[in-house]
Amino acid sequence: MQVFKFGGASVKDAPGIVNLSEIVRNSPDKQLLIVVSAMGKTTNALEKLTRAYVEQNDEMHSLFDEIKQYHYDILHQLFEPGHPIFDEIANTFVEIEWTIEDEPQDEFDFIYDQIVSIGEMVSTRIVNAYLNKTGASSQWLDVRGYIHTDNTYREGKVDWPKTTKSIQHDVPALLQKGVVVTPGFLGGTSENFTTTLGREGSDYTASIFAACLNAQSVTIWKDVPGVLNADPKLFTDTVKYDQLSYAEAIEMTYYGASVIHPKTIKPLQNAKIPLLVKPFMHPDEPGTIITETDFITFNTPVIIVKQNQVLLSISTKDYSFISEEHLSDIFGLFAKTHIKLNIMQASAVSFTVCFDDDTERFEKLTTALKQNFSIKYNNQLSLITVRHYKTDLLKQLTTDKTILLEQISRNTVQMVVK
């Protein structure tokens, strides 16, 4: 069996869903588990709705109406009036309506997961219904009953033994009957609350199912020809890699390459399952294959740009040295607020870190740090990472930019710039 994952760009409109069904129809392996993300920019829109609800902003209802209308427009292009899918989608959106009727009482991260998760619930129901309409024998699977996580909302930690047991118990029999469609990005707690696995976590969902089912391969269908050396939205002369090792892919995703979720690779590497990244508009093209290999020469450097970064410097209030005890306390606060460090650097009297800007988590972190430390920070920065770098390229990338922090190792350069 194989696992296919379709991202938001591949199902952003009715033609995209038609194209997905063609890819499924032409697949030689009819035992397919299909993981689908929210449609288009729906996750961004639901995040905006979540913030409006938490802040009790007047635009909350208009934002929700826009999200619903976007999906109903797609439905009307794919299905005749009166098709049961219209009621299914309406009933799914009711979950948000129930939530926003009352004033917010819970933590932001919990509210986020209950609202934002609806994007995947809606997209997969639409895809499943269309596959059945076009002749595929397709079943919808509620992933929240199979990927079990703890209560770390917005980044649920997977209970692998429980998840493996659930998937292996039911899913193989379902695959014998036909295609299985399931939401990406989501998990469920023991209390039956919804969790998410981290932004862009649908890739991770695909690798979890693949590892548990010992799949032949995982294919991620993207709006790019494969894994490129840089983001084509930022660079015009990108180069596709035909093959990558698991190790290099892990490095790239760790530093922020957005083509694959960072947690995707490890379960596949452990199970020795190949990962293919292919263009959904040109499914016959080879794309990029990621496997266990050490014999790849990099003639083209990897360039990764992470925007919306914070550079935070932490020092003791009495100007004493930053000790191991201080660092232990600081790392504890980062862990507690679920902030991942993209780069760090220590000096005698300060500890400087760079990380993704997240308003709610940053406020919690700085409030806690100020009790025992002095802090200074800059935001709206960029983090440029270059693997297999060349000196001339570094000069080009930093032209007209101010470098606030730089680290150079044998294979990798990281620069925080504004």
Q: What is the DSSP string of 210-274?
A: HHHHT-SEEEEEESSSS-BSS-TTT-SS--B-SEEEHHHHHHHHHTT-TTS-TTSHHHHHHHT--
Same CATH topology for 2-291 and 302-417: the answer is no
Task: Tell me the CATH class for 2-291.
Answer: alpha beta
The first and second tokens of residue 396, run together, are: 């080009």
The superfamily CATH assigns to domain 302-417 is VC0802-like (3.30.2130.10)
b or e along 158-190 (b: 16 or more beta carbons within 10 Å of the residue's beta carbon)?
bbeeebbebbeeebeeebeeebbbbbbbbbbbe
The first and second tokens of residue 168, run together, are: 């292996």
The H or E element spanning position 64 is helix 60-78
The H or E element spanning position 197 is none
User: How do beta strands 138-140 and 179-183 pair?
Assistant: parallel
* Candidate ranges 249-263, 295-309, 317-331; pick with highest mean pLDDT: 317-331
User: Which residue carries 């080879």 as its tokens?
Assistant: 286
Q: What's the average model confidence in pLDDT over 207-216?
A: 98
DSSP bridge pairs for 138: 179
Reported as a single tens digit per residue, the pLDDT across 83-138 is 999 999 999 999 999 999 999 999 999 999 999 999 999 999 999 999 999 999 99
Q: What percent of the chain has pLDDT over 70?
A: 99
Separation of alpha carbons 26 and 398, rounded Å: 46
In this prediction, residue 172 carries a pLDDT of 97
Confidence of residue 34 (pLDDT cuts 50, 70, 90): very high
CA atoms within 13 A on the CB side of 172: 10
Residue 123 corresponds to which amino acid? S
Reported as a single tens digit per residue, the pLDDT across 232-262 is 999 988 999 999 999 999 999 989 888 888 8
Instruction: Provide the whole-model pTM.
Output: 0.91
Separation of alpha carbons 44 and 55, rounded Å: 17
In this prediction, residue 244 carries a pLDDT of 93
- Between 293 and 265, the higher pLDDT residue: 265
Find the angle CA(132)-CA(223)-CA(398) to the nearest 5 degrees: 155
> Residue 249: left if φ>0, alpha if ψ -120 to 50, beta else—which one?
alpha
Residue 295 has pLDDT above 80, yes or no: no
The pLDDT mean for the chain works out to: 95
Closest CA relative to residue 34, chosen from 166, 157, 175, 159: 175
Domain range annotation of the chain: 2-291, 302-417
The first and second tokens of residue 4, run together, are: 């296919």
Reported as a single tens digit per residue, the pLDDT across 10-23 is 999 999 999 999 99
